[in-house]
Amino acid sequence: MNDPKMKLLDAAMIHVAFDGWSNATFQAAIEDSGVDPTVARAVCPRGAVDLAVAYHKRGDAQMLEALKAEGLADMRFRDRIARAVQLRLQLIEDKEAVRRGTTLFSLPQYAPDGAKLVWGTCDAIWTALGDTSKDINWYTKRGTLSGVYTATVLFWLGDTSEGDAATWAFLDRRIDNVMQIEKVKAQVKKSPTLSMLLAGPNWLASQIKAPARFSKDDLPGSWTAPRQ
């Protein structure tokens, strides 16, 4: 492995449980990995914070690889989502590293990083499961799953049940709640009266488009100007 950031990350893992994602952990990772301090600072300008980000993203990559080997074709879509979230957590070998990361990204200065990482995980799940939405649903799907994922992680961190059975039951309940919301939305669309009342908001929502995957300006989305 030639990637200095991954070398630092692997070396840091043994220290995270004791010192968290801190400068002490970062300095120990430099010593243990043999990575030149100048290189270490170049690839991780924020020290251990950047290692915590890399740790989360590596977990996402492992989840995507695991999903490829899963036989999801015969599952209901809600079960595919549940399985993806379950895999993401099952692949974590060190719960304490996640606990320390949750503490880190709850700090005001790093909260945007934490929100971006959760969003990235949920985007990866929806994309891997074949989501093709290009309108406001692109956002609502990922936003809703972000809430489910965050709540499940917090529950999982305190779960002492065998095989994390309580966590998977909790996850199923949260997804069932989301499915109930989708049923209500479908009923609203079928109602002539409610459809008329929501015609304006629905039109406005229809103008919001999903972000381009290779956006030149790297904006989070796009807006279609109404016709004059």
What residue segments make up the domains of the chain, in order of their start?
Answer: 53-223
How far is it, in rounded angstroms, from Cα 211 to Cα 203? 19
Q: Quick one: average pLDDT of 207-218?
A: 56
How far is it, in rounded angstroms, from Cα 88 to Cα 81? 11
Burial class of residue 96 in the structure, from the number of CB atoms within 10 Å of its CB (0-12 exposed, 13-18 middle, 19+ buried)? middle
Mean pLDDT over each residue of the chain, to the nearest integer: 85
Q: Quick one: average pLDDT of 35-41?
A: 97
How far is it, in rounded angstroms, from Cα 54 to Cα 137? 28
What is the number of residues in the chain?
228
pTM (predicted TM-score): 0.82
Please give the CATH architecture assigned to the domain spanning 53-223: Orthogonal Bundle (1.10)
Query: In which band, very low, low, confident or very high, does the pLDDT at 36 lie, cut at 50, 70 and 90?
Result: very high
Please report the pLDDT score of residue 136 as a whole number: 82
Q: Quick one: average pLDDT of 112-118?
A: 96
Q: Is the pLDDT of residue 214 over 50?
A: no
Please report the pLDDT score of residue 61 as a whole number: 97
Please report the pLDDT score of residue 213 as a whole number: 60
Tokens of residue 182, six digits = 């989708």
